[in-house]
Chain A
């Protein structure tokens, strides 16, 4: 498809486990963003990539969260030692230029039991 693709769409894991969430942006989009949306809240910024580098990771809540974008296209958000409070929908967005319109994926719903 032509839009932002996120996998898995749903992930259920146990507390303490490691999780990876994948984002495939729109082809040619150089800017990529991760947001987290908890129940009843708006999306909350996590990290922004311009190309391969993380230009702003100020939203990552702690060192259990890490994201990579090694070839400037697909990005993976990695969460170590998951906690119940990590349960949320993780949204990825991409943009053709910095400051341009964001196109969001459908999100990956993470549930930590």
Chain B
């Protein structure tokens, strides 16, 4: 049972435009959500997070939106840069657990 789903395996965006990566979840107990970025042959690195008490969190070019009623979150990157090309994972957790549940990932390619 895939509790966190990223339905787009890949996304291609022009440099300078907005990249929007989507993530859906099924477990209503999740109350903390994160995005990780992964380059080839490297481990995932933390990008941005959001608590369920918020619906938006912004950090520079990166903004995460949370829609609890739809059990949906999205990551917006604007403007997109070539260095943003990577695999992006969304992850979720329950406050009482250290366990992160990851989605399958979306490969983002930024075209010059």
Q: Which residues of A come within 8 Å of B, CB atoms?
A: 4, 31, 33, 35, 40-45, 48, 55-56, 58-59, 91, 93, 98-99, 101-107
Is the CB–CB distance between A43 and B98 below 8 Å? no
Of A33, A40, A103, which is within 8 A of B98 by CB?
Answer: A33
Complex interface: chain B residues within 8 A of A40 (CB): 9, 104
Complex interface: chain B residues within 8 A of A48 (CB): 98-99
> How far, in Å, is B44 (CB) from chain A's closest CB?
5
Q: Chain B interface: which size bin?
A: 20 to 34
Is the CB–CB distance between A45 and B99 below 8 Å? yes
Complex interface: chain A residues within 8 A of B28 (CB): none
Is the CB–CB distance between A42 and B98 below 8 Å? no
Is the CB–CB distance between B89 and A56 below 8 Å? no
> How far, in Å, is A109 (CB) from chain B's closest CB?
9
A-contact 0/1 string along B75-112, CB 8 Å cutoff: 00000000000000101000001111111110000000
Assess A42 versus B102: contact at CB under 8 Å? Given A56-B97, A101-B46: yes
Complex interface: chain A residues within 8 A of B98 (CB): 31, 33, 48, 55-56, 98-99
Is the CB–CB distance between A41 and B104 below 8 Å? yes
Complex interface: chain B residues within 8 A of A58 (CB): 99
Considering the complex, give the chain B residue whose CB is closest to the CB of A3. B43
Q: Is B41 in the interface zone, CB < 8 Å from A?
A: yes
Is the CB–CB distance between A42 and B41 below 8 Å? no
Complex interface: chain B residues within 8 A of A33 (CB): 98
The 10 A-B pairs with the shortest beta carbon distances in the complex, nearest first, are: A104-B43, A42-B102, A45-B99, A48-B98, A43-B102, A101-B46, A104-B44, A42-B89, A105-B43, A106-B43
> How far, in Å, is A61 (CB) from chain B's closest CB?
14
